[in-house]
Structure 1
Amino acid sequence: MHIGHFALANSLLVAPMAGVTDRPFRQLCKKLGAGYAVSEMVTSRKDLWNTLKTSRRANHDGEPGPIAVQIAGTEAAMMAEAALYNIDRGAQIIDINMGCPAKKVCNKWAGSALMQDEALALSIVEAVVQACAPRHVPVTLKMRTGWCQTHKNAVTLARAFENAGVQMFAVHGRTREQGYKGQAEYDTIAAVKAAVRVPVVANGDITTPEKARDVLAATGADAVMIGRAAQGRPWIFREIAHFLATGTHLAPPLVSDVKRLLVEHLYDHYSLYDEFIGVRSARKHIGWYVRELPGGEDFRLQMNLLEDSVAQVAAVERFMDGLNEKMDRIPAAGPAEFDTRGQDMMELTT
């Protein structure tokens, strides 16, 4: 699959998630089989660009390309300026956010709220594409199926956006009204795919290799985008890639390998954030890793009381070592028949 002149490693994409897909998380997902990852959304408000929060979101040090940055806002000129700002800081692809359902974003008419005002949405797309074109930077866009059940306009918007120069769409199979409730539907994604010539990526409720296969078949999409299912299980990408290629399942990762990955993730996380913020923001990642493990909830509650990185890492190591005495592998999220031939995580990540 291509986005403009960039060839992606595979058809497995990491969804942009605010507070989650920072540089350490993106790098980890790519290391474990994702072909592409989009940053957390960066605001188009110029007065916030010099804040520590935005500078961290715009940090791509050592990240393998292509570097994709998602921008969010409500004014065409500001969005165009934000695109150029991020290109100057390493962005190779600009993604426009029209998919975020969060109230604090939609209340400002950004994110998926833009789908209610088609003229404004199109003016933003046109301005961003025009700004990026001289730099030969492709523009992509993530959206929902519409604002609400009675106003699904993803197909109409996709046609207009493609004509304006958007080179890839990611579509979450829910309306903004749904948030993350109910089940994602894929008929609208299939309709978008049928309506445009550029690549379309299916997003929403893709949690297992089988689901990835089925969604690709149902939508005709060029790729799948995975968000929440990768939280605490970033190896889901290599599991899906193996299943799509062979029809067989990898064995779940070894506990010892997950311990190593988690500790490496923590150190990379601390390197991006200071001690105070790093320890506290790492808690959610640790919680996701252990949430389905024996004793995981009790450990999470105890770990959340720790306030320095040395104690946090030591606690994680003790918990994982204790788990390793009880089981060799992390419990599987999917089917129980696995292909273990030469496919332990250590071989794929070192």
Structure 2
Amino acid sequence: MSATSTASLPTELVLGNVRVETPVVLAPMAGITNAAYRRLCAEQGAGLYVCEMITSRGLVEGDETTKKMLVFDELETIRSVQLYGTDPKYVGQAAEILCNEYGVAHVDLNFGCPVPKVTRKGGGGALPWKRGLLGEVLEAAVAATSKYDVPLTIKTRKGLDDDHLTYLDAGRIAQESGVTAIALHGRTVEQAYSGTADWDAIAELVAHVDIPVLGNGDIWEANDAVRMVEQTGAAGVVVGRGCLGRPWLFRDLAAAFSGTPTTTVLPTLGEVRTMMLRHAELLCEHMGEERGCKEFRKHVSWYLKGFRAGGSLRHSLALVDSLETLGALLDELDPDEAYPVSELGAPRGRQGAPRKRVVLPEGWLDDQDGRGIHMQEDANEATGG
């Protein structure tokens, strides 16, 4: 158990006309933050739960894969979607479709993805290097969303690498373009998910702009979120890998920001089992049992990380094909086993090593304007940010 201080912490997050009871945002994660997972996390505590990233061109051209990702749970009170795009025309049109046809109340733009297939086309974390292009994209998106009084935010990284930092320029351009808030992941594209997030950069951005700044990176426990906000002055936090296999983290975060001292109560394996079954049931409800069970498989190792569950049981759970089978296998777990405290504060999900080099379009670093340069944008490219 760990006590959490709550002195001078924000108790809500205000993004334009969207008011979130807790200053916590679920980061969009490809193949993870679907409607079922967003519902599961929202059942634990208040926050802004963002749909996995979709491509602007895919939405504009009616790509079926893209449209299937835009599914919302019936209890989602604030529909929030992250867009990826490099062409102002497509980004603007996609933002308007989200507002007009899907009833989305919040749009976020991805300028932080470090995946090579994205950066080699000038997208994700590569795009802010081109300040002119960034301004064009933001102006088009703000023009579209403002017609519906929908707040537009962006998420970015520190820069390409330590020699090519972009976050201060990105913050200034975002503010000048009418963006409501900016989230900063305290790593460079080169770092990807390795190393340690630079919270000092988040604090520097807070001092540099007047719009709200959200901090992202290395939030594994509620105490981490509190420390980040206290150290940086951020208006809230964005949580990604820390909630993998631990949706109750949002319960702890809601408590930590509630304004009263709180104590984290760790779940037993029996309580984790209940959460796993609930997750699988929601996936099956939204996708059908066969696909839902297949989607659940990737989550097994995260839920059981650090527990003593045997290899053969884990293997069987990773091949589960029905809720009945899942329930029978989960019954084999020891419900009284205590949560492995060794896992507290430890990184979860992908980490890896820094990239040997950031993959960029040819000549990308030659100038920092890029105004009028519209990069090729795939219609069905979905990835994480």
- What TM-score results when the alignment is normalised by the length of structure 1? 0.88
Give the Å deviation of 1:188.
1.2
In 2, are the aligned partners of 1:155 and 1:188 still within 8 Å (CA)? no
Per-residue deviation, residues 98-118 of structure 1 (Å, max 9, x unmatched):
011112222222211212222
Q: Which residue of 2 aligns with 1:271?
A: 285
Correspondences of 1:1-350 after superposition (within 5 Å): 1-46=13-58, 50-87=62-99, 88-244=101-257, 245-295=259-309, 297-315=311-329, 317-319=330-332, 322-324=333-335, 326-327=336-337, 329-332=338-341, 333-334=343-344
CA distance in 2, matches of 1:63, 1:129: 27
CA distance in 2, matches of 1:64, 1:50: 23
In 1, are the aligned partners of 2:125 and 2:157 still within 8 Å (CA)? yes
The amino acid across from 2:302 in the alignment is W
More deviation in 301-310 or 4-13? 301-310
Give the Å deviation of 1:297.
4.9
Give the Å deviation of 1:183.
0.5
In 1, are the aligned partners of 2:18 and 2:105 still within 8 Å (CA)? no
Q: Which runs of 5+ in 1 are unaligned?
A: 336-350
More deviation in 200-209 or 299-308? 299-308
SS at match of 1:7: strand
The amino acid across from 2:162 in the alignment is Q
Per-residue deviation, residues 78-113 of structure 1 (Å, max 9, x unmatched):
011111122211211110010111122222222112
Higher relative contact order (CA 8 A, sep 6+): 2
More deviation in 40-49 or 169-178? 40-49
More deviation in 111-120 or 41-50? 41-50
Q: Percent identity?
A: 32
* Change in 2 beyond 3 A, CA 1:310/1:105: farther
Give the Å deviation of 1:255.
3.5
The amino acid across from 1:33 in the alignment is G
Give the Å deviation of 1:221.
0.3
Q: Which runs of 5+ in 2 are unaligned?
A: 1-12, 346-385
CA distance in 2, matches of 1:151, 1:66: 36
Cα RMSD of the aligned pairs, angstroms, is 2.0
SS at match of 1:147: strand
* Change in 2 beyond 3 A, CA 1:230/1:246: same
SS at match of 1:45: helix
The amino acid across from 2:280 in the alignment is L
In 2, are the aligned partners of 1:14 and 1:34 still within 8 Å (CA)? no
In 2, are the aligned partners of 1:56 and 1:272 still within 8 Å (CA)? no
Give the Å deviation of 1:276.
4.2
Relative to its length, the structure with more helix (as a share) is 1
SS at match of 2:50: strand
CA distance in 2, matches of 1:272, 1:26: 12
Count of residue correspondences = 330
CA distance in 2, matches of 1:76, 1:48: 12
CA distance in 1, matches of 2:136, 2:169: 15
In 2, are the aligned partners of 1:232 and 1:289 still within 8 Å (CA)? yes
